[in-house]
Structure formats: C-alpha cells, structure tokens
Chain A
Amino acid sequence: MTAPSNVMEIRDLARTFGGGRTIFGTKKPELTAVRGVSLDLRMGETLGIVGESGCGKSTLARMLVGLDRPTRGAIRLDGEDLSASGTKALARRVQYVFQDPVSSLNPRQTIRAILEAPMRHLLGLGGKERLARLEKLIEAVNLRPEFLERYPHEFSGGQAQRIGIARALAAEPDVVVLDEPVSALDVSVQAQVLNLLDRLKQERGLTYVFISHDLAVVESVATRVAVMYFGEIVEEAPARQLFRAPLHPYTDLLIRSAPVPNRRRAAAKGDSGELPDPYDPPPGCPFAPRCPRVEADCRAAMPPLEAKDRGKGHRAACLHPLPLSAPTSQPHEPG
C-alpha cells in the first residue's frame, strides 16, 4: 500500500518517557505515551485525530513535526525516513500550529520578526523576497500589513491564532499539523479560523493533520479520522463512515457523549472515564474495563488494528466490534 499519493507514512511510532536507571542503579518509572502508531497521510486530505486528554495525541503531533524524537518507529516523507533527523529537516515539509495562540508567539518580537524567521532559516530567502512574501502572507490570513510592526500582546486570541497559522505557512510546508487549533478560542472566533484554514488548504494544496478532542469540529473539517485511546489508534475510517457507524465501542461512546444543543446525550451510564494506569498498562485492550461489550479474550492481548466487514479503509482494534445496525450492548461475533 505504498501508493505515491501518500505524503507521509508513519510506521510503528512510539514514545516512552522516563525509564533508564538512576546513578544508584534503581529503575526509574517508565511511561509510554504513544505505543506503536501506524498511519498513512494522503496528499490533500484532512486527517482528524480524536482522543481524550492523556491519549497521546499531542505527543504524536510533536513527533510528527520533530519537536520530540520517537523512541522507535519511522516517519517517512516521500519514502525518506526523517524521524531521527531532528526538527529542521522535518520543519521544511511539516509545520505545526499550536493550541494556545498567544503563548506560541514570543512576547518580545514583532510579528515581522516572528514570520520572517522560517523564511530566513528554512528557506534561506533574501531580504527583498521576504518582504514580498510577508505582505502576501499576512493578507492571506486576513490581517492588515501594518500589524507586522506590532507585538503579540496587542492581538486578540483569534488574530494571534491567524498569526500562528501564518508562521506555519511561512515555511511553505506540504503538511500542517494542527494541535487543537481552535480549542482556546471563543466560539464566534472558532468559525472564522476554521473557515480560514479551509480556504488556505484549497488555495495552497495543503494536507492537514487536525488534532482535537472536539468531535463536532473534527466531523466538520476532517475527511478521514483516527481515534486514539491510551497511546494507540483504536479505529480509523473515512470521516462520514466513522461517525455514522463506528466499529469500536470507544468511538461509539465518544460520539454519544458529545453535547448537542437541544438533544440529551445518551452516553453509557456509570462510565468511570478512568484510563488504565500508564505506569502499569494492562496486557489486553486498555478500554476493556469500561467496555460494555467486553469478553474474556479482550483482556488477553491488545487486538490488532485491522479491517473488519466495512471495507479496507475502515479499521478497528477490537475483537468484538459493533454491528452495522443500531449499537446494542449485546456482544457481537464478527464473521
């Protein structure tokens, strides 16, 4: 499945924090935030990555742009493994938009200095060319050129996030990783930023990795969605298909938990919402303690992420996936 349309291939990517030994030889505790993620990113798509806090989606995002080195696994861009080459090699092709727009801008630099940096250090552009590009760039994100001389604290959250997007685009990347780009913004500003992101994607032929905990936002922007739980991808499918008929009970729980105006959510009652202890992970499926469809074999080993009965593109890591009809609490044997 190494089609040329894949702009990025992630293979068995994992990140472990801590570990090793102290100088006295005692073992330090070890926490695996991402435990073997494999994904293909196709040219021009918006891949939504959904999960709750602590599922490892931000760690994954930081590895994709080189802010963090993976413990193992590969990140291939057009077939070339860049996982060990550091930030600069990846940053030329992959850029990142932060969750908190204000704290991602240096308070003591003008917007011009912030936006010029990627052009100078990544593209090696001269002063004249930078000037021309800056004007175009700042207008592309709907800001006025005189804003270039101002400092970040003079901007509202929405404006600051547009500057953050401009900073990411200044390096002319192919892929933009957006880590909760609208979560910190007010609702009336969220739509402005989402619409802007959509327009920029069309104009520049970008590929997005859109990370969010907000399912409604992901549903409205993503073409394909991967659901993460406890450091692993538990389900992956085209967006419409995933939201209409999820395979994994966790995806189902997430969808049913999303608040919708004038609709009472029907989330499973008595769900603890507790993740397993990351320092002492269980051997089997980490969702088993919360799963309404759990069986004995779920606790034995982690089920592989594989296609079920919904076609090649819809994969789930579940031994007892939900049937196509209305989800019930009855266990279902596939095949």
Chain B
Amino acid sequence: MTAAATTSDTAAQTSGKERRERPSTFALILNNRLAAAGLVVLGLIVLAALAAPILPLADPNATDPANRLAPLLTPGHLFGTDALGRDILSRLVWGTRVSLLVGFSASLIAALFGSAIGLVAGYAGGRTDQILMRLIDLMMAFPYILLALAIVAILGPGLINALYAIAIVNVPFFARNIRGITVGLARREFVDAARLSGKGPLTILGSDILPNVLPTIVITLSTTVGWMILETAGLSFLGLGAQPPQADLGSMLGDGRKVMFTAPTISLVPGLMIFLIVMSINLIGDGIRDALDPRLRSGALARPAFRTKVAKGRRMPGEDIGEEPQPLEGGSSHHSPLPADDSGNRHPPLPAGISPTRGEIDKTETSAAADLPPCGGSEGRARPVARPGVRQGRGGGQGTNPDDKSVSPVLAVRGLETEFRIGRSVYHASNGVDLTIRPGECLGLVGESGSGKSVTAMSLMGLVPSPPGVIAGGRIGFKGEDLADAPDGRIRALRGGAVSHVFQDPLATLHPLFAVGDQVVEAIRAHQPLGRKAAAEKARDLLDLVRIPNAARRMKALPHELSGGLRQRVSIAIALANDPDLIIADEPTTALDVTVQAEVLRLLDELRRERRTAVLFITHDFGVVSEIADKVAVMYAGRIVETGKTAEILARPAHPYTRMLIDCVPVMGEPERRLDAVPGRPPAVNRLPPGCAFADRCPRVRPDCREGEIELEPKRGSLEARCLYPLGPGEALSGEADPREARP
C-alpha cells in the first residue's frame, strides 16, 4: 500500500502542477488590462458605497435652503449642494449604494427566473418549450421601457416596484439565452448517461445541466448588470423609482434637470457616476466573457493566417538537399537526385500547343503518351495506356515504380519540424520528418492520433493554423522547389492545383449550400482559364470518372442529398480537377462504411496509377494501408520510426512499435488471436524523453535506448527503423527473445 501510495502521490502532484500551469479564470480576467481597470474602478465605487454609514458624510436628506446651489469645492460641501441645499457628495455615495443594490438585485432576480424558465423549456422540449417560449416572445414584443412603465403603473411608483419591473423586463433575455444552451446540452451523451444512472429530470437539471450552463449565466449576468443600472436610473429619472427624499442616481439626475442651466454640476456629478459604474461593469463583463467562453479562449474566433508561419532562421537538415539528397524512404542505400527543376533534362520536352495551366501542371509523360485535354474525363478512364509499370505488380502492393530511382520524386521533405507554441510550452508535433514520394507512388503514413501524421501532411501546403503552428525547420521539396520558402502567391496557385487534398469528412469539407457540380466547377475555374460551360462539362466528366452514377443529374445535388460514399467521390473529383501531381489524402475512408470504403479505395488506387499521381495516404488502419500503399512510414511522437515496402513492413516489421500496432488490431478470419495490448500511452510531445520515445512502452527496452539520438537506419530488406534492438524477421513482440540476436 505504501509503495502504491507514494507513486500515486507523485502522480497527483505532477498533475496538480500541470493544472497550475493553466492560468485560472481570475488570472485571465486580470490579464485583460481593460477588465482589470474596470475592476479597480468598480471596486472603489462599491467600497465607498458599502462604507457610506461610517464615512464622515453629512446627512443626505438634511435640507439647508440658505446654502442652496453651492458650487463645487465649497468648504464643507466638496461637490456643492443641490436645489434644497443638500450635500451632493453625501447624496452621491448614498444614491450609488441604492442604485447598485437595485441594479444587482434586479439582475439576480432576472437571472434566477429567466434561467429557470430557460432550463425547463430547453430540457423538457415539446409542448412545454413551445408554451413557455411563446409567452417569452410575447413579453419581448413590447418595447422594454414601455413594459417597465406599464408594470410600474400597475404596481405604483417606488423603488421596490421599479426593481420588480426591471427584473421582469429582463427575464426573457436570460430565458432565451439559457434555453438555447440547454437544448444543446440536453441531447448530449452525458445527459443520457445521467438518465441511465437513475436520475430524475429535476436531479439532471440541477446536477448535470446547471453546472454546464452556469458560465453562460455568469456571462449574461455580467453583460446585463450595467444595462439594468441604467434602466433603474431611467425609471427614477422619470420619478417612478426612488421617491423623495431618498437619493438614488436616477432621481438625482432628475432633480438636477430642473436647474440644468443655472447649476449644471448637479446633474453632471450623478451622470458621471452612472457612466463610471456602467463602463466599469461592461469592461469587467467583457473580460469575464473572454475568459469563460471556451471558443474565445482557444482563439477559434481569431482569423487564421493564410498559411503556416515559417520561422525565420529555421533549422535546415544537415545535407544540402539541392545537391545531393539522401532519400530516407524507399529503403535504398544509394542516393538519388532530388526533384529536378521543371526544366530538368529528365522530362521530355513539352508537346506544343498545350495550355499554360497544362504546362504548370507538367504531366509531361501523360501528355506525351496521348495528347488529350487536361482532364481525361471518361476518356481518361477508358485509356488503355501502355505505360511501363502501371499494371504490373498490382496484387503484390508493389505499385508503379517505388524502386525506379531514375524518376525524380514529386515530394521530398527533409527534416520537417512543425511546432505548436502555446504559452511557454512548445509541442513538437512533427519532429524532423523525411518523406519521399515519386510520381504514381502511394506512401501510407500510419500512426495513432497525436503521432503528428496529420500535422506533417498539413504542413506541406502551410495549412497548419498559425498561431500557434510554426514550421521551425526543414525543407519541403516539391518538384525541385522548397515550399517553405515559396511566396504566398505560389502556394495559392499550388493549393488545389498541383497539390490537392482529400479529407476525412466530406460533409465537413463540401459547402452545404452549393450544388456539388458547382463546387467542382469552382475548383476547376480557380486554376484554369475555362468558361463556365466548358468547366461544367469538365466537371461532369470528372464526376463520371469517379464513377458517380448519373453524373449529369447529380451535378445539381446538394452534399446532404448524397450518401457518404458519393460525397467522398465528389471530394476526390475536386482533388483531381486540376490534374494534381500530389494528392494528400487524410483518412479519406475512415468515416465510410466498409462496403463503401472498399470501392473508394479501389477508385483512388486506379486513378493514381492511371494518372501517375503521387499520393500521401494518411491512416491508422493497416488493413487499408496494405490495399493502397506501395510504401509505409510509421509515425510515433512526431517522428518516423519505421519505413519500408508495405508487404515487408506488414509481415516482418523491425520496430517493436510497428509490431505492436499490427498485433493489437483484431483481424478478420483470426478470431482466436490474442490481442496484445501494450500498456501506457504515447509521451506528450512537449516533454519528449531523451532517446527513444517508445522506450517506456517497449518490452525490449535497454538502458541505452534512453540516451542520445537514435537515427533512422537501414535494417533488413527495404526496412529502415529508428531502433537499437530491432525485431528479427517474423519475431514476435515479447521480452523473452534476446534482442541482440536480432541486430543486423
């Protein structure tokens, strides 16, 4: 027990420290200078109002007609006296006390009743919701001051009645706000869980929904208190609130109005006080809203930069990639030339008469083989191209030409480092990644969530949001140019043109309000100088190409009218619209059903082989990877830990992590297989341990695994792994075998 207790204590302490790293809500409010200033001003005013009985003030109601309308700074009357000779300073402090009390009480009453109505209406739904909200609508149909006047007219003038009137007038505001939040919360799974725990509706409202609504109530409250104080003053100004001789800010203002021209300071002083109170409360309210609203806190409302920030003086990989690149993918030990310039001598000369776009897209081989319009359309599909390496080795997962070193790579990423800088911590999401993809080749980037695979892919086109993302090092070689250095205009031309994306959720990436055909047309016309009609024709061809049945009719369909599989085909059609050299597909089949998944994968596979398009395919599923990828790169904690040919890596991986990732997934047809669960989870990428990041979870770990840099080195066959004690061919992942025997 003692040992367990100590370990848990340390764990608790560290997590406590972690919690302290995040600033508290109060600290966040103080950080906001305007809110802090508001807090100071309001604090002083509230203190003065609270201390009114003990302050050496004159009786606020003692009249002294001899001294009436004394100016400012009169001895004994700092702010002078009013028309009845009463001390204005004293009346101001006492009046502020009354106004604050009435304003805050009215707000609290309105918040209490409004929130209660909102909670009940939002949670109950149906008829209860309808009736309550229509009543609220009815109240909102009157101008608020008219309603307040009507209520006071019924109840009779007086401060308490004014308070009721203001509270009632503001109930709808709270009710509508809170109802909106509650409706969303009531359908959340944790409310279902509470129902399954046997809680009744009232318990659920009180213990599950209210705590989640509370921040919204506080935000609404903080932004309305100032308004309520104004309304109180308004009613008192009209003589419907505080009755003489009682002082409150509104009635003081009303008294001053009669002598506005002879003694303007009498109305000026309470006016300034109202201004100060309302201003400071609003500043604090804005500060509270900014601190409590999770969307504002995460910076989601900030406009993201056009592209990921590239750090000045970013770290460059060791070797000069322009001269003698070292392909770390593909498992070859000999060097190959990096992406040559478009003018490079490896490409046959461009055929004459092609459009400029075509030239930019530079699919020289395709155009040399068959002089076709830029988009193959249905013709493209039917093309029986006699291209070497296209058809061969389809079954073996060998792909088009993974070993053909004579073809320069489309993509050559070297030492890519993408960081997230949040507060004082730096998250190394992508920590020195090398990738090489040749035309027609598909590289599968595999890893768990948080491994950095998506950040790596998003970094290529500068799609990582900045702030907080920064490309801190490395080169992104795309056909001979470094995209990290390219100007914004060039990146804009490449996005959706020579490099296109397919994302996981087509419902989120397609615009919900435009017909899918128009969206394909838009993608085409963004990059090609085509008329609307020609582009529409081409769009139809593209939809045909991705085998959408009845493409001409589906052009007019909105995204939600198509099934998930068809939507993803539209996304692929958009990705193909400008004959890209590289498609970055980020989990494109994860959201699809298995029967649909197979079809979409086959389509993507055939298209990239026919069109010699390079594909960077991101997934967590080895089953999917084995179907489409020629090569696989496995990522862990921001680094590639193993890479090699798909078949080899799947059958006989060298890195224990790869083995683990394969072993822990159930496989169809092998129900008896024991699932090897590896305990623990990946390290946080802002506190990476020295040495191998997998060491803590690895059954083969030795002391030297935790020291120094471990390089990605060739192991057996095409495999390269970042491991000192790699697995032998077919070796299982267990701590028993002597790892030294497995060393090459």
Contacts and interface: CB of A to CB of B under 8 A. Distances in A.
B661 to A, nearest CB: 6
Interface in B615-665: 620-627, 647, 650-651, 660-662, 664-665
A83 B241 CA distance: 58
A329 interface: no
Interface in B1-35: 8, 11-12, 15
A259 B671 contact: no
B651 A216 contact: no
Nearest to B191: A106
A258 B192 contact: no
A279 to B, nearest CB: 13
B332 interface: no
Interface in A297-316: none
- Central interface residue in B597, B661, B669, by most chain A CB within 10 Å: B669
B622 A261 contact: yes
B318 to A, nearest CB: 32
- Central interface residue in B547, B566, B667, by most chain A CB within 10 Å: B667
Given A87-B196, A91-B197, A144-B11, A105 B666 contact: no
A273 B596 contact: yes
A103 B199 CA distance: 18
B676 interface: yes
B482 interface: no
Contact of A100 (B189, B198, B598, B671): B189
B449 A263 contact: no
B623 A217 contact: no
A175 interface: no
Contacts of B666: 194, 214, 216-217, 219-220
Nearest to B625: A261
Contacts of B547: 270
B53 to A, nearest CB: 40
Contacts of B395: 264
Interface string B582-624: 0000000000011111110010000000000000000011111
A109 B191 CA distance: 12
Main secondary structure of the interface of B (DSSP, over half): helix
Contacts of B195: 67, 87, 91
Nearest to A89: B198
Given A191-B664, A191-B677, A273-B595, A261 B669 contact: no
A156 interface: yes
Contacts of A274: 563, 565-566
Contacts of A145: 8
A89 to B, nearest CB: 10
A230 interface: no
Given A118-B197, A121-B199, A267-B595, A146 B681 contact: no
Interface string A96-121: 10101001111111000110011011
B563 A275 contact: yes
A159 B15 CA distance: 15
A5 interface: no
A146 B12 contact: yes
Nearest to A265: B598
Contact of B623 (A219, A253, A260): A260
Contact of B193 (A92, A104, A195, A254): A104
A273 B599 contact: yes
- Central interface residue in A103, A191, A194, by most chain B CB within 10 Å: A191
Contacts, number: 201
Nearest to B624: A259
Contacts of A98: 189, 192-193
A88 B677 contact: no
Given A98-B189, A117-B197, A261-B626, A271 B681 contact: no
A52 B595 contact: yes
B505 interface: no
A231 to B, nearest CB: 15
Contacts of B212: 106-108
A286 B624 CA distance: 28
Interface stretch (A126-134, A182-190, A317-325): A182-190
Interface string A243-263: 100000000011101111111
Interface string B665-698: 1111101010111110100000000000000000
A34 interface: no
Given A104-B189, A263-B626, A257 B199 contact: no
B595 A105 contact: no
B564 interface: yes
A154 interface: yes
A187 B595 contact: no
Contact of B668 (A87, A120, A156, A255): A255
Contacts of B197: 91, 117-118, 121-122, 167, 170-171
Nearest to A164: B193
B211 interface: yes
Interface residues of B, number: 66
Contacts of A267: 595, 598-599
B481 interface: no
B699 interface: no
A188 B198 contact: no
B556 interface: no
Contact of A105 (B12, B190, B565, B675): B190
A95 interface: yes
A216 B8 CA distance: 37
B203 A271 contact: no
Contacts of B678: 188, 191
B260 to A, nearest CB: 52
Contacts of A188: 448, 660-661, 664, 677-678, 681
Given A156-B681, A195-B675, A217-B666, A118 B198 contact: yes
B208 interface: yes
A22 interface: no
B563 A273 contact: yes
B498 to A, nearest CB: 30
A190 B664 contact: yes
A267 B565 CA distance: 15
Contact of A65 (B196, B565, B594): B196
Contacts of B15: 150, 154
Nearest to A101: B189
A121 B212 CA distance: 21
B599 A104 contact: no
B511 interface: no
A260 B622 CA distance: 8
Contacts of B12: 146
Contacts of A254: 594-595
A100 to B, nearest CB: 6
B549 interface: yes
Contacts of B622: 261
Contacts of A217: 666
Interface of B: 8, 11-12, 15, 188-190, 192-199, 203, 207-208, 211-212, 395, 397, 448-449, 547, 549, 563-566, 593-599, 602, 620-627, 647, 650-651, 660-662, 664-669, 671, 673, 675-679, 681
6 residue pairs, one from A and one from B, having the closest CB atoms: A259-B623, A121-B198, A117-B197, A191-B664, A191-B677, A122-B198
Interface of A: 52-53, 65-67, 87-88, 91-92, 95-96, 98, 100, 103-109, 113-114, 117-118, 120-122, 144-146, 150, 154, 156, 158, 164, 167-168, 170-171, 186-192, 194-195, 213-217, 219-220, 239-240, 243, 253-255, 257-265, 267, 269-275
Given A186-B620, A187-B661, A258-B623, 18 more contacts: A96-B196, A98-B189, A117-B194, A117-B199, A118-B197, A121-B203, A158-B681, A171-B197, A194-B675, A216-B667, A240-B671, A253-B595, A259-B597, A259-B598, A263-B626, A273-B595, A274-B563, A274-B565
22 contacts: A65-B196, A67-B195, A87-B196, A95-B196, A106-B194, A117-B199, A118-B198, A144-B8, A186-B448, A188-B678, A189-B681, A191-B664, A191-B676, A191-B678, A219-B671, A220-B673, A259-B598, A260-B623, A261-B662, A262-B647, A271-B595, A273-B595
